[in-house]
Structure 1
């Protein structure tokens, strides 16, 4: 199917034609998937990206103005989604490492300090509050240094599920720990 035919099909999609959307998907999904797979080297992640791209295409169909090349537009969407996911993943991992390092440093330098002990207990308490599956994944990854792939194999789940659980767990813990660390720093310097 050439660019002109895809644009005609997309104009039907813009009007809410689900059959046209299915037809469009069937003619374009492979390139989106191949790009996502080539960049992520992870089938589950590539499938998630593929799904996200077409959900977003459907949800924003009325606002989109594509005048020349639909496949190039899908390519750009895919590229941006891959970058967004990488940034999110790195950001969450970096923040978690910073909090763990801060807690470890506080514990080592102020081992007898009540505040440092309370901070560590708070962190452990927040881990204990996580849902069981999420807690198990978190502990395997951060306390036993399992890779995402190893956790997925151990628990019989997709690697993307492990990643999602880690992101969610880190977000929950980070929210509480940011407040606790801020309080600790403020009391330390007052």
Structure 2
């Protein structure tokens, strides 16, 4: 961390007032942390760099909100977390569930313990989905794993769009409860994705 004549709070307040030099200093202080966090989830240097840049762009665009921030590191983490989860949620729910998870966690750097945890996570998720009522399970899978819109699901299932939405909301609530009882790190991450 570079030396500075200003405390973090002073820098944050200067950024809130539109001071670009203070913004650049905060950027320098926290870039590695945000980039590393993104890389841990995406495993893609290019995607992680884009995400980190987007996080700091959002900080600058919404800089006036910094006047009310008490702990900048917490605020920055929440901003980064929301962006990363949003991006990962789109990837998780764009691809077929099993295929995506297999590809995502096929990194050679995974330890044997990581692989055990992955298998357990997949088992827990599949169990949660399997115990959903048929209509909820179908609507949820078509939405989250095949990326269909509510209108498309309604046409495929022969029900109204409102019914589709109701089935998905109830399915997510059930899965949250099921996954909440198994909150190991990887499982908790997927649970948080489901909550978005």
- Class of the TM-score when normalised by the shorter of the 2 chains: 0.3 to 0.5
TM-score, normalised to structure 2, is 0.45
